Structure 1
Amino acid sequence: MKGNPFLSETFKTIWLNHFNCNKAYFIFGIIPKLEFVKNKYLPVFYNIGKTNTKGISYDLSEAVDDKDCKGRVFIIYDVANHTKMNTISNQANLKSRKIVQYPGFRCMLNKYNSLDAYMSDALSRKSRYKFRSYRKKIENAFGARYKVYFGEISNEDYKFIFSYFKTLLKKRFFKKKTVNNNLTFKEWEFYKEVTLPMIRKKEAALFVMYDKGKPIAITLTNFSENIMYDVIRVFDIDYARYRPGTIGIMKQLEWCIEHKLRALDFAKGYFEYKKRWANQIYWLEYHIYYDKKSFLSCTLALIYSKFYDLKLFLRRHDLINFAHKLSFIKNKKKI
């Protein structure tokens, strides 16, 4: 995966500042493409970015020092199972576990030269008609206009949009009576700081729909060389009858095709709109590598893998969402 935005120096440096207090990170010869941070108490190392990434790739090196693996556990988050990688090492003491965590959804666009062509393949005739009518209605009712901030954005525009972004997210999830991880202080401050330099380096973009001068739908995306990753999206629920979220997806697909991108990747997590629009479903996995000759490493690898198995079980039975709703009730006054 060329130009992975989650491995860019901008992303990694700012992530370390927000989530690792600028403490040391580690590089191991066995996994040369990734840098790791260490658990405070245990010999467990996580790739920089952890769950803030939308897809990581890596290769295992064939020539490694035994000391790289000795007594250690490595956890690599969000590895797409469609990614081609070398995950075979001649390190005899190294064992691995791969745990499925999230479904991923993406729109593969290689063979399409227009939005209409993609919609004809991906959607029913009835859906195509409805979605086009939504677009006409919102444009006719409000003169809705679209702007993509990619490569250039003023500090003033950025501050204004991100302020609205947070307001709309809070409004949306307050109505749903559930929490959103992106709105936690650490996560939001991270995204607010990292997105501006990434936009200017063409590693990110903001897709904004306006009613006059007011943003009514905002989507943050990141880019590899030929893939757009959907990172955070929201629309103003006061405009829900006009389906600005659907129109936003149409605009993204149009933009991807115009710029000859290979895919629009909705990334991890199930939502009905992802299933409706995507033409490829995949899985994101957590990969755990550990020293099989170390009792502690084997034990930790087993505990972590069972913990992630449990999280998948809870997610599949919608119990994670139930926990988020309980958290909302508990922290409602703080929102």
Structure 2
Amino acid sequence: MKKKVILFHHSDNLGGAGVSLLNIYLMLEDEYDVKIYVPHDNSPIKKFYNEKDISTNIINDNIGMISSYSGGPKLFSRTYFVKLFQIIKTRKTIIDILNREKPDLFIINSMTLSWVGKIVQKRGIKSLCFVRETFVNNIGMKVILHHLNKFFDGVLFISNNDKNTFNCKAKTIGVVYNCVNKKNYIRTLSKSEACSLLGLNDKAFNILFVGGDSELKGWSIIKNAMRELEDYEIKLIVAGKASLSNYISVNINYIGEQLKMPIVYTACDLLVFPSTSPHQARPAFEAGIMGLPVIISDFKETHETISDGINGLTFEPCDSKALSLAILKLYKDRDLCNRLGQSNYKFCLENHEFDTCKVNLLTYLHKII
């Protein structure tokens, strides 16, 4: 009989964590009886899993959390306190799930749910936390670390930098990189065909930004950079939630939230990730597996993902002029752009491919249950 594993997710938005949750499920489903819990029936993440024909269990409430992480809400802001207050209701939900499911392992997909560990441990159930957020030095993080150290059987990070920075003391500690399944990121269309499907100009040098109008992911930075590039045939393709009333420009195309991202990557020539604070960049290796280079803010937290001049370019964080110059460099030197893209493909194949990460994850799970 297979051991039962619960995957508990914290957000109703899709995002990188939601996609990573899918990969965890696919890695575990052959060996374990896996159930997924996500918030809200009509949510983007629920629709994403429906499209994949994967069953999910719904939590019809907002999830309580400790929102301390780089780029998160300000400590003790209204948003921060609302999320803390919601823990009261989510606590009852967690207890109901544990009593009903009686799992062998309870996995949370974010350190913001670290408060769950004590409840799980009290019932003699093994627990594992995926830390997907970046460290921030405040009292909320100290609370999170306390829970990770004391109540979890395993804590897995998505980079060695995060693992070293957190210096966690849980029984089992490791790194499992975020991954992509190569077979789901195969170019089946030409750039021209992909652009036609998305209503984009296939003759332009198309730059992809997947942050919507998120300031954390660098919306203002890339928006200002594009002002410097109006005299060139360069288009910014904005995927994700964005209000069209925020900013209208002839060299910016908004395509909204996209479930079929390989088509979007095929339509573009490079990815930009100009985050204003340290933030893990899942799109960087999704782009890589599609053969695209990446221009990214120069934070030490992302040096494991993109190396300047090797598989992409880096620039001074929050410097829109520097970003525009990096874009222009690849626009003018297409051979360099292609070389960086091919290097990023090889790097992602070696470090972020599904099968490699699956072996790594299962090795850690076998230590826990």
Q: Confirm or deny a common fold (TM above 0.5).
A: no
TM range (shorter): 0.3 to 0.5
Higher relative contact order (CA 8 A, sep 6+): 1
Q: Greater share of strand residues, 1 or 2?
A: 1
What's the TM-score, normalizing by structure 2? 0.31
